[in-house]
Amino acid sequence: MPDRSPPRVALLGFSIECNKFAPPATKAHFLARTYLEGDAILLDARSPNPVMLPETPGFVAAMDASGPWAPIGIALAMTEPNGPVEHSFFVELLDTIRHRLEAALPVDAVYICSHGAGLTTEEDDPDGDLFEMVRRIVGSGVPIAATLDLHANVSARMVESIDAFIGYRTNPHLDMRERGAEAAAAIREMLAGLRPQRAFVRLPIVPPTVTMLTAAGPYAEMIDFGQRRMSPEILNVSVMGGFAFADTAKNGLAVVVTARHERRAAESLAREIAELGWANRERFYPRLTELDEAVAKALAVGRDPSLPALAFADVADNPGGGGRGNTTFLLRAFHEAGVAGALLGVFYDPDLAGEAHRQGVGASFEARFNRSENTKFSEPYASRATVVALTDGNCVGRRGIYAGLRLELGPCAALEVGGVTVVVISHRVQCADPIFFEMMGLDIGRARSVVVKSRGHFRGGFDEFFGPSQIVEVDLPGLTSPMLNRFEWTRLPRPVIPLDQNVEWRPA
């Protein structure tokens, strides 16, 4: 009699986007955000308001809905984008995953929730380390599916170590849950006997983050082309824009195609998509608004209520890319120019938030921004401020990438600094959800200017207030500036677009 017991599927993950220029990420960062082992993974994945990102809940829900299975939680570690992970913690995590996975054997399949742009203080390809280790433990015949952020920097060993490579297709990342469900469908097919074939092509293009939106533009066109070429033979098409600030030898816009049977079909489609991207290579150059022009725009909408309100994106200080979320360039410029009716958030400064809580609502005091921060670009600024609201920072995301997630921002304060109301937080996060203003009682709909410390995910949260024509991406200094020529690169493959001239590429 054949074994009809439910398939045993191991769940594990390591998810962080690492900016080489930012301060290191420690074990404490993961413990504060998401670190789960064993059954705790399933409990959180099935929670109505999980702390983990949506891929694993999407995977679990789809597996639950598609038939019997026996999930086995291994370990899942994820945190906000930061600098390279302390290598000792990554080694500890690998040891935990190895011991728990070996103890769970035999397993019938493995699901890995990964980001793909991780670094450690000693390793440029920790995701490759993880994927290789999992394959070594479970053996060549056990299906492995992984979901990855479209900012993943893809290595050959990442692709070769797994069976189904499934990248996000939207930026802002609004399809995370769907990609988890897609991974579940792939696992079900592989459990039924499918053995997919993969193809991988990397281009000498390192796209600045603002050129990687998926509503329009050269990157969107690559994704759209791949999706239009889907067929019964093609299991998945993933176009991975990468993350420049990792500064690794595996950086570069990558295409990974997974075919159900024929490697040649995967190779042909991957090459076609790559050729389209290469034909559009001159479009991967950012176009930003200078600070003086941004100030003029904010002054204009503040004076004339008939003009549409504007959102100003501080793309160079994006916590979603490892930025500290505390540069003061826009705050200083708007305040000193007399901009009125402005909101700014969210500003990471635990010391200032704590002082505001001690002062109390209604208090006026000398607010010293960045009094104890010494990271490059995090310059101090001082001004009289009035405390208009306080909260403990516990909330549930309302829209965009944080929708439905349980969030803890620590003590938070809304400070009125002239015509600018600043939301100050204690736990660093990018301003991608209107809830960060709304939990302070602030009305975004009444603001004339809203400054968001976010690169692009705010578009998925604030789209009910601002259309594309109302968004101003400001050119400022910062750890996540899209102007890549301002950084000292040591590991990026050269020459590459947009840093070098006369870059050549030929399809293999």
* DSSP bridge pairs for 369: 381
Q: Which helix (H) or strand (E) holds 380?
A: none
> Which domain range does residue 245 map to?
196-286+483-508
Residues near 155 by Cβ (< 8 Å), separated by ≥ 6? Answer: 125, 127, 128, 250
Regarding whether 105 and 54 lie in a shared domain, the answer is yes
pLDDT digits (tens, 9 = 90+) for 301-325: 999 999 999 999 999 999 999 999 9
d(CA 202, CA 508): 10
Regarding whether 370 and 304 lie in a shared domain, the answer is yes
Regarding whether 23 and 165 lie in a shared domain, the answer is yes
pLDDT digits (tens, 9 = 90+) for 74-89: 999 999 999 999 999 9
- The SS3 of residue 382 is strand
Of the candidates 182, 194, 179, 188, the one whose C-alpha atom is nearest the C-alpha of residue 68 is 188
Regarding whether 220 and 254 lie in a shared domain, the answer is yes
Regarding whether 439 and 342 lie in a shared domain, the answer is yes
Q: What CATH code is carried by the domain that includes residue 22?
A: 3.40.50
Biggest distance spanned by C-alpha atoms of the chain: 80
- In the 8-state DSSP scheme, what is residue 23? P
d(CA 278, CA 281): 5
Of the candidates 339, 430, 405, the one whose C-alpha atom is nearest the C-alpha of residue 81 is 430
For the question of whether the overall pTM of this predicted structure is more than 0.75, the answer is: yes
- The domain total for the chain is 3
Cα–Cα–Cα angle for 147, 150, 154, nearest 5°? 80
Regarding whether 123 and 55 lie in a shared domain, the answer is yes
Regarding whether 215 and 132 lie in a shared domain, the answer is no
Give the residues of the chain that fall short of pLDDT 70.
Answer: 1-3
Out of 179, 194, 209, a domain closes at 194
Regarding whether 272 and 124 lie in a shared domain, the answer is no
Out of 194, 218, 251, a domain closes at 194
Of the candidates 198, 200, 202, the one whose C-alpha atom is nearest the C-alpha of residue 263 is 198
Regarding whether 243 and 116 lie in a shared domain, the answer is no
Token pair belonging to 289: 């608004």
d(CA 12, CA 97): 8
d(CA 155, CA 458): 29
Give me the DSSP letters along 208-272: -GGG--SSSSHHHHHHHHHHHT--TTEEEEEEE---GGG--TT-S-EEEEEESS-HHHHHHHHHH
Q: Which residue has the tokens 């413990």?
A: 31
pLDDT of residue 508: 76
Give me the DSSP letters along 411-427: SEEEEEETTEEEEEESS
Regarding whether 171 and 75 lie in a shared domain, the answer is yes
Regarding whether 266 and 321 lie in a shared domain, the answer is no
Regarding whether 271 and 219 lie in a shared domain, the answer is yes
Token pair belonging to 9: 């599927």
Q: What are phi and psi of 469, to 5 degrees?
A: -75, -10
pLDDT digits (tens, 9 = 90+) for 30-50: 999 999 999 999 999 999 999
d(CA 115, CA 117): 6
pLDDT of residue 374: 87
Out of 162, 194, 226, a domain closes at 194
pLDDT of residue 302: 97
Length of the chain: 508
